[in-house]
Amino acid sequence: MENGKVRVGFYALTSCYGCQLQFAMMDEIIQLLDKASIECWFMVERDSDEDREVDIAFIEGSISTEEEAELVKKIREKAKIVVAVGACATQGGVQSWGNDRKLEELWKTVYGDAKVKFQPKMAEPVENYIKVDYRLYGCPPEKKDFLYALGTFLVGSWPEDIDYPVCVECRLKGYPCVLIEKGEPCLGPITRAGCDARCPGYGIACIGCRGAIGYDVAWFDSLARVFREKGLTKEEILERMRIFNAHNPRLEEMIDKIFEEGE
Ligand code: SF4
Ligand code: SF4
Ligand code: SF4
């Protein structure tokens, strides 16, 4: 705290900047300035400095360069609370989708022989490098999640986490089930709720942007079995489940097993 204000930092790693853009455009941010002092947030504060100490550090983006790995360690040292923001920071993001291939191969495909000043590496979630205290899920997270977390921290409390899947919200909303009624490969059963089942609400299958409710508890294998019964191939299932869960260490093994059962 400084002058009775909570010191806040918002830092970007490899990302599309969509999370911070979503929050920077909220009218409520203006009201928060009474209680918070923004020490670092280049999108909203010109006088930003990554070296300042903060009470709460929000980190957007995956760690995809050696320099970012060093930056998050510095942020951790200078912050009391670290919040990973969005699918990139919490799950490695869509940029982790290709992490079953080699970095050199991916680099060549996208950038050819281009030379850069940073040292690239395979994309990873922030918590692979530092302790993360709280997570805001989604691509981007809901505005209400950001306000809830920040507001709770500002009054000295701690926000609750959501540990149930999108299907719960989907059923409560009374949306038709796109998996059962249309045979669409909806990832709602394994994905963390909090978006009010936005995609099924539009008749679209969930692609899992809020990440699995936990790699150890989400029923990837049961859902893969249902998808197989709906006619999806092993590759199609794996590709879909990897979009936002590429760092699930057992994903490939689980899906292999499902297809061995059926052979
Ligand atoms: S989580 Fe989504 S919206 Fe946020 S930075 Fe990553 S890609 Fe962009
Ligand atoms: S549409 Fe998707 S999220 Fe909704 S109940 Fe069916 S499987 Fe679950
Ligand atoms: S329904 Fe799934 S993909 Fe759509 S916003 Fe919610 S978690 Fe993300």
Between the CA of 88 and the centroid of ligand 3 the distance, in Å, is 15
Between the CA of 210 and the centroid of ligand 3 the distance, in Å, is 6
Between the CA of 217 and the centroid of ligand 2 the distance, in Å, is 18
- Residue-wise pLDDT for 221-252, tens only, equals 999 999 999 999 999 999 999 999 999 999 99
- Residue-wise pLDDT for 50-95, tens only, equals 999 999 999 999 999 999 999 999 999 999 999 999 999 999 999 9
**Which ligand does the CA of 188 lie closest to?**
2
- Separation CA 24–CA 60 (nearest Å): 13
Residue 188 CA: nearest ligand 2 atom is 3
| pTM to 2 decimal places | 0.94
**Ligand 2 pocket, 188 CB below 6 A?**
yes
Domains located in the chain, CATH noted: 6-154 (3.40.50.700), 166-262 (no CATH)
DSSP 72-109: HHHHHHHEEEEEEEHHHHHH--GGGTTTTS-HHHHHHH
Query: Please, what is the Cα angle at 104 between 13 and 115, to 5 degrees?
Result: 65
